[in-house]
C-alpha cells in the first residue's frame, strides 16, 4: 500500500480520455483497476477537460464500461467554466459561446444571456459542428473588446481512430486573429477541478493521487493542487514539459491495483 514516496494511497483522482478510454474504446487494465478499487471501497473522482458531455453523461459512459460512477464523482470543464464565470461576471452579461448543448445549458443556468458579436464574453468550448460563422462571430466579439474564456487548453484529444483537434486550436485561432486577447483558461492545468474533486473524494492530500496521460495538463494540475501525480502511458504519447516531473510513470493501471487501499 505504498505510493511513490512511501505514503499509502487511499483516494484516487483521474483523468478520463486516455486513461479510462480512448474515444469509445475502454482501456481494459484501467476498467479492471477501478472495479477492484470500487470493491475495496476506495473513493475516486474524475476530472476531464472534455466539455462535450454533462457530468451525468460521463458517469453513464463509465457505468456502461463497468466502472460504478455517479454524476457527483465527475468534474468537467463545463461546470468549472460556469463557476469561474460567476466569480467574474454578473448575471445578464452577454455571452457568445462555441460549444455543445451542456455548455450552453450551464451558461444559461448561470444567468447569462446568449448573444452574438456584441457579446461581452466569448466562451470557446469543444464543438463538433464548428464552422466559419461561429469563428467569425467569436473573432468579431473579441475585436469589439470581449473577454475570451477557453474551457480547456488541449490541442489534441484521443479518438477511436487517432487524434482530433481540441479547444486549444480554437483558442489559438482567435488569439492569432486578435493578438491583444489574453484568454482565461479554465480546465487543467489550472488546479480548480482537481481541488473540487479532492474535496469530494475526502482523503488527505498526502494519501490521494492524480492519474493522467498528459504532463502539461494532468500532471501540472495535480501538482498545483498539492497531490502526487502519476503519468500513465495508455493515452497520448508523452510530451515532456520543462520543469515538470511526474511523481511516477506507470505502463497501465493494473500495475497500481495492489498499492491502493481503503482507509
SS3 164: strand
Q: Which is nearer to Mg ion, 191 or 235 (CB)?
A: 235
Nearest distance from C-beta of residue 51 to Mg ion, angstroms: 14
Nearest distance from C-beta of residue 258 to Mg ion, angstroms: 24
Q: Which is nearer to Mg ion, 195 or 213 (CB)?
A: 213
Give me the 205-224 binding string for Mg ion, x by CB under 5 A, dash otherwise: --------x-----------
The stretch among 52-60, 94-102, 130-138, 230-238 that binds Mg ion (CB under 5 A) is 230-238
* Cα–Cα distances in angstroms (integers) from residue 144 to residues 16, 119, 147, in the given order: 37, 9, 9
Q: Which of 95, 139, 87, 88 has its CA nearest to residue 114? A: 95
Nearest distance from C-beta of residue 137 to Mg ion, angstroms: 29
Per CB under 5 A, which of residues 67..86 are in contact with Mg ion? none
168 binds Mg ion (CB under 5 A): no
Q: Which is nearer to Mg ion, 207 or 213 (CB)?
A: 213
Read off the C-alpha cell for 169.
Answer: 486550436
SS3 5: coil
Nearest distance from C-beta of residue 30 to Mg ion, angstroms: 11
Q: Answer yes or no: are the C-beta atoms of 229 and 209 closer than 8 Å.
A: yes
Nearest distance from C-beta of residue 15 to Mg ion, angstroms: 4
* Helix, strand, coil shares, percent, the chain, to 5: 40, 20, 40
Q: Answer yes or no: are the C-beta atoms of 99 and 151 closer than 8 Å.
A: yes
Give me the 5-34 binding string for Mg ion, x by CB under 5 A, dash otherwise: ----------x-xx----------------
Q: Which is nearer to Mg ion, 17 or 120 (CB)?
A: 17
Per CB under 5 A, which of residues 29..48 are in contact with Mg ion? none
Nearest distance from C-beta of residue 157 to Mg ion, angstroms: 8
What count of other Cβ atoms lies within 10 Å of the Cβ of residue 25?
12
Determine the size of the site formed for Mg ion (CB under 5 A). 5
Buried-state track 36-49, b at ≥16 Cβ within 10 A, e below 16: ebeeeebbbbbbbb
Q: Answer yes or no: are the C-beta atoms of 223 and 26 closer than 8 Å.
A: no
Q: Which residues bind Mg ion (CB under 5 A)?
A: 15, 17-18, 213, 235
Amino acid at each position: 500500500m505504498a505510493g511513490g514516496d512511501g505514503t499509502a494511497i487511499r483516494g484516487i483522482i483521474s483523468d478520463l480520455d486516455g486513461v479510462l478510454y480512448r474515444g469509445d474504446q475502454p482501456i481494459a487494465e484501467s476498467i479492471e483497476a477501478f472495479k477492484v478499487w470500487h470493491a475495496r471501497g476506495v473513493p475516486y473522482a474524475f476530472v476531464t477537460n472534455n466539455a462535450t458531455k454533462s457530468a451525468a453523461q460521463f458517469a453513464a459512459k463509465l457505468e456502461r464500461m463497468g466502472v460504478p460512477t455517479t454524476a457527483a464523482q465527475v468534474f468537467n470543464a463545463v461546470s468549472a467554466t460556469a463557476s469561474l464565470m460567476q466569480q467574474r461576471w454578473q448575471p445578464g452579461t452577454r455571452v457568445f459561446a462555441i460549444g455543445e448543448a451542456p455548455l450552453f445549458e450551464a451558461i444559461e443556468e448561470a444567468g447569462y444571456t446568449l448573444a452574438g458579436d456584441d457579446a461581452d464574453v466569448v466562451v470557446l468550448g469543444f464543438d463538433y459542428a464548428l464552422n466559419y460563422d461561429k469563428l467569425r462571430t467569436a473573432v468579431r466579439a473579441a475585436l469589439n473588446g470581449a473577454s475570451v474564456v477557453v474551457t480547456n487548453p488541449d490541442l489534441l484529444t484521443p479518438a477511436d481512430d487517432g487524434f482530433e483537434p481540441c479547444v486549444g486550436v480554437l483558442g489559438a485561432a482567435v488569439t492569432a486573429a486578435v493578438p491583444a486577447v489574453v484568454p482565461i483558461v479554465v480546465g487543467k492545468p489550472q488546479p480548480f477541478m482537481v481541488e473540487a474533486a479532492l474535496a469530494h473524494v475526502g482523503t488527505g492530500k498526502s494519501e490521494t493521487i492524480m492519474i493522467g496521460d498528459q504532463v502539461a495538463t494532468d500532471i501540472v494540475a495535480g501538482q498545483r493542487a498539492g497531490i502526487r501525480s502519476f503519468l500513465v502511458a495508455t493515452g497520448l504519447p508523452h510530451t515532456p514539459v520543462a520543469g515538470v516531473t511526474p511523481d511516477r510513470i506507470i505502463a497501465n493501471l493494473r500495475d497500481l491495483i495492489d498499492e491502493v487501499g481503503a482507509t
